[in-house]
Amino acid sequence: MKRCLIALFLLPLTLAAACGAPPDGDAVDETSGAISSPPHKVPNLGPTLVDFDTSPSGAVVAGAMVDTVYASQGVTFSCDSCSSGHAYAEPRAVGNNAVTLFTPPSLAGFDARFGAVKAVFATPASSVSIQAIAVPTAEPVMNPVAKPFLEAFDASNNLLVKALYQPNYGDANYGTAQTLTVTSSTASIAFVLFSSQAPGTTTPVLGVFDNLRFYSGPLVGL
């Protein structure tokens, strides 16, 4: 188990193709990740990137609490159903920081047993994405089925749409960074939660998260 947890932090985050990106808030099948309609709208503004490596002023944030570090960019962080109540930038052995709900120094990966990181937007967003890596925490006796996820909610706490990590255990690209994306045609995403599904009776799968991107304002037709 220790070898697998160490390997988790040696995985570089690389930009990958978007997965689970539902247009207009269309529902995603949480088993297959299928989307019922093709994307036909795009955000009308460029994305805001939060990389959890430096603050908007360029200060290094490794090991720091990042709850309000990016407030000037229109987003604040905390954690939901967690013990710390905060979000942190956690240095990894190789590569850049990840965002976690554990107080550093600690593991960067987590799942729903420990809670979820919450990102709240000053202006409701039309599209939000984050990169995620899925890593089983032990040599699995059976195929791990839990997956990292990204959930979008409106200001009334209604779940709008959910995106799941798409590669399955055993796929060639399992364990690589995948971009989870959620969208709303009415620009009504007030906040998002991201974590990895609770394992149940199967092997736990931790999610490692980095590079949150979000778009403000409504989507416009292509």
Q: Show me where the domains of the chain are located.
A: 2-221
Residues in Cβ contact with 131 at an 8 Å cutoff, skipping those fewer than 6 apart: 13, 15, 16, 177, 178, 179, 180, 209, 210, 211
What is the block-wise mean pLDDT of the chain (222 residues), using blocks of 10 residues? 39 38 43 43 71 95 96 97 96 83 92 97 97 86 88 98 96 95 95 95 92 85 53
What pLDDT is recorded for position 141?
63
User: What is the per-residue pLDDT for 92?
Assistant: 78
Prediction pTM value? 0.78
Closest by alpha carbon to 104, among 72, 136, 61, 74?
Answer: 61
